[in-house]
């Protein structure tokens, strides 16, 4: 039941905030913040609760299910395991920080803004929670449309272009996923006689290899556009750089993660054999993404665009890890999802804070801000270091695990991925160099971070350092799930092999008859 409340609170307070803004915009902001804090607290309690159970009975911590459209086998099916829980925590944390970050930035159509913000978050939470593919698609769209408004209404100069690009990319790829979902629905219905969108039942679908390949591609495209993987990444720099600060935060911190989540939750478990087949290519694209994203990040002069391309680079590690098919890499991927959400989110917040002060995002026009804003410089330093993967910060744990895991399945590609770390150093230090080093004579005042901004950024610093030094609770939370998927994949592999062997034997027999 609590799972349903997570979503209802967000959607309800979104409407409430919109109404409240008619009278008082402050009230609207507080309502949004309160809703997210409540959700965050409940999610944390849930986590602590599961932590106490040292040996959980099943991977599923909490479930909720009612029939929705039983004729078509559609149910309102929510379930929560370690991965979803961590993603929810991240969603509510970044959501709350996003509300605080837009406290002063958004002064126009405040109510509608918060409505959209909360509905995006509700969509994301739904995506992380739902175990019904129809519902999944529904939430997938719910998070898309409000995001389109967030970019299109409150964005920077080129916002319309960016919003359309974002919408078309994600919508088109989402439709392919819908096709694949329907395909899976009918394939499963035809073979087993049960027409259902239920994830758990669809897991056991028996498919011909060709069908499996095509259906997997449908899902894969939706997720790798969202992730994004080069060459499907072009919506991202535009959307990220044109969105308002909180929008960029949510895009980078959460929306991209839905792609990674989808890969882990749907692509690999539903289509283990096809995923194994495509693994080398997917890993190759991951490595291309790492290097290409880093190169482009280095060449940007727009700070938000730069950070956006670093996301492309970092998400390359995710797809590299997902298709490495081992526990180390998958744990690394989960860590990467969380730490990248925080570190990149923080970099966007810094970019937003700088834009508020200087009214430019061009780093060529910035210089020597260390002397003026030492606090911001320190935070900026920490997150630049996080993005280049300095040990002791969360991103290192993620990247190291991913790379160690990837090495087991493909050493050559891993070498190239590791080279990406050098490129990451180049672009991260470029941020520091251009913004904070040098000497500047300013014609305007440049105040250091305000209390509100510190209130947002300092917790993120604490989280990223904690994750870097004590990642074990997070790893423990996702362990059951990761091992589950791994075992399923192995079983599927064995099953397939036995089928093949049987076919071979039958073939031999057939041959002997002739």
Any bridge partners for residue 59, and if so which?
none
Contact criterion met (CB below 8 Å) for 213 and 274? yes
Among 250, 256, 475, 481, binds other proteins (CB under 8 A): 475
CB atoms < 10 A from the CB of 235, how many?
22
Among 231, 280, 447, 507, binds other proteins (CB under 8 A): 231
Site for other proteins in 113-172 (CB under 8 A): 165
Output Rg (C-alpha) for the chain, integer angstroms: 23
Among 280, 438, 447, 507, binds other proteins (CB under 8 A): 438
Among 124, 143, 151, 401, binds other proteins (CB under 8 A): 401
Buried residues in 216-225 as b, exposed as e (16+ CB within 10 A)? bbbbbbbbbb
For other proteins, give the closer residue by CB, 196 or 395. 395
Q: How far is it, in rounded angstroms, from Cα 333 to Cα 320?
A: 9
For other proteins, give the closer residue by CB, 216 or 229. 229
DSSP classification of residue 267: I
User: Shortest gap between Cβ of 331 and other proteins (angstroms)?
Assistant: 5
Q: How far apart are the first and last CA of the chain?
A: 63
Q: How far is it, in rounded angstroms, from Cα 455 to Cα 488?
A: 43
For other proteins, give the closer residue by CB, 68 or 375. 375
User: Shortest gap between Cβ of 343 and other proteins (angstroms)?
Assistant: 15
Tokens of 291: 């290097």
Binding mask 237-256 for other proteins (x = CB under 8 A): x-------------------
SS3 79: strand
Interface with other proteins, residue 328, by CB under 8 A: yes
SS3 198: strand
User: Shortest gap between Cβ of 246 and other proteins (angstroms)?
Assistant: 25
Q: Exposed, middle or buried, 308 (CB in 10 Å: 0-12/13-18/19+)?
A: buried
Among 400, 446, 459, 488, binds other proteins (CB under 8 A): 400
User: Shortest gap between Cβ of 155 and other proteins (angstroms)?
Assistant: 18
Q: Which residue in 149, 167, 145, 144 sits closest to 109, CA to CA?
A: 149
- Binding residues for other proteins, rule CB under 8 A, total 60
Element (H, E) at 82: helix 82-105
Q: How far is it, in rounded angstroms, from Cα 390 to Cα 400?
A: 10
User: Shortest gap between Cβ of 66 and other proteins (angstroms)?
Assistant: 37
Binding mask 367-386 for other proteins (x = CB under 8 A): xx-xx--xx--x--x---x-
Q: How far is it, in rounded angstroms, from Cα 379 to Cα 461?
A: 7
For other proteins, give the closer residue by CB, 98 or 293. 293
Interface with other proteins, residue 439, by CB under 8 A: yes
Among 471, 477, 481, 489, binds other proteins (CB under 8 A): 471
User: Shortest gap between Cβ of 168 and other proteins (angstroms)?
Assistant: 9
Q: Which residues fall within 8 angstroms of residue 319, CB to CB, at 6 or more apart?
A: 224, 227, 229, 263, 282, 283, 285, 286, 289
Interface with other proteins, residue 437, by CB under 8 A: yes
Interface with other proteins, residue 419, by CB under 8 A: yes
Residues of this chain that bind other proteins (CB under 8 A): 165, 230-231, 233-234, 237, 295-296, 298-301, 326-328, 331, 367-368, 370-371, 374-375, 378, 381, 385, 388, 390-392, 396-397, 400-401, 403-404, 407-408, 411, 414-415, 418-419, 421-422, 425-426, 429-430, 432-433, 436-439, 469-472, 475, 479
């Amino acid at each position: 039941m609590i799972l349903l409340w997570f979503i209802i609170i967000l959607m309800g307070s979104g409407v409430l905030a919109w109404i409240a803004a008619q009278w008082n915009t402050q009230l609207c902001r507080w309502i949004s913040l309160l809703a997210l804090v409540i959700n965050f607290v409940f999610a944390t309690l849930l986590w602590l609760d599961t932590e106490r159970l040292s040996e959980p009975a099943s991977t599923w911590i909490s479930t909720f299910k009612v029939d929705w459209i039983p004729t078509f086998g559609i149910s309102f099916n929510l379930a929560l395991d370690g991965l979803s829980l961590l993603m929810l925590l991240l969603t509510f944390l970044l959501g709350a920080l996003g509300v605080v970050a837009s406290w002063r930035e958004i002064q126009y159509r405040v109510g509608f803004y918060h409505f959209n913000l909360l509905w995006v978050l509700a969509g994301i939470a739904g995506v992380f929670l739902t175990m019904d593919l129809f519902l999944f698609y529904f939430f997938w769209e719910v998070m898309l449309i409000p995001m389109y408004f967030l970019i299109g209404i409150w964005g920077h100069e080129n916002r319309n272009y960016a919003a359309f690009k974002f919408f078309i990319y994600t919508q088109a790829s989402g439709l392919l996923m819908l096709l694949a979902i329907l395909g899976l629905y009918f394939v499963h219905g035809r073979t087993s006689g049960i027409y259902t969108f239920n994830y758990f039942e669809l897991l056991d679908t028996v498919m011909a290899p060709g069908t499996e390949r095509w259906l997997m591609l449908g899902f894969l495209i939706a997720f790798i556009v969202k992730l994004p993987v080069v060459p499907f990444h072009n919506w991202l720099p535009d959307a990220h750089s044109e969105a308002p600060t909180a929008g960029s935060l949510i895009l980078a911190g959460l929306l991209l993660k839905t792609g990674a989540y989808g890969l882990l939750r749907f692509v690999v478990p539903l289509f283990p054999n096809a995923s194994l087949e495509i693994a080398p290519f997917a890993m190759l694209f991951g490595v291309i993404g790492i290097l290409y994203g880093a190169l482009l990040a280095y060449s940007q002069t727009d700070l938000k665009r730069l950070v956006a391309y670093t996301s492309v680079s970092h998400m390359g590690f995710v797809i590299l890890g997902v298709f490495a098919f081992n526990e180390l890499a998958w744990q690394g991927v989960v860590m990467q999802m969380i730490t990248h959400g925080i570190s990149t989110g923080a970099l966007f917040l810094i970019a937003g804070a700088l834009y508020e002060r200087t009214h430019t995002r061009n780093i060529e026009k910035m210089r020597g801000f260390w002397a003026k804003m030492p606090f911001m410089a320190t935070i900026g330093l920490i997150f630049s270091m996080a993005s280049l993967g300095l040990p002791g910060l969360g991103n290192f744990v993620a990247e190291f695990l991913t790379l160690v895991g990837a090495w087991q399945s493909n050493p050559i590609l891993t070498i190239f991925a590791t080279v990406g770390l050098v490129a990451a150093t180049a672009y991260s230090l470029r941020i520091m160099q251009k913004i904070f080093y040098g000497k500047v004579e300013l014609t305007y005042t440049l105040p250091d971070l305000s209390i509100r901004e510190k209130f947002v950024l300092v917790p993120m610093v604490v989280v990223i350092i904690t994750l870097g030094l004590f990642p074990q609770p997070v790893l423990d939370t996702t362990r059951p799930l990761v091992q589950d998927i791994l075992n399923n994949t192995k079983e599927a592999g064995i099953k397939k092999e036995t089928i093949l062997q049987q076919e071979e034997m039958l073939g031999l027999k057939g041959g002997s008859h002739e």
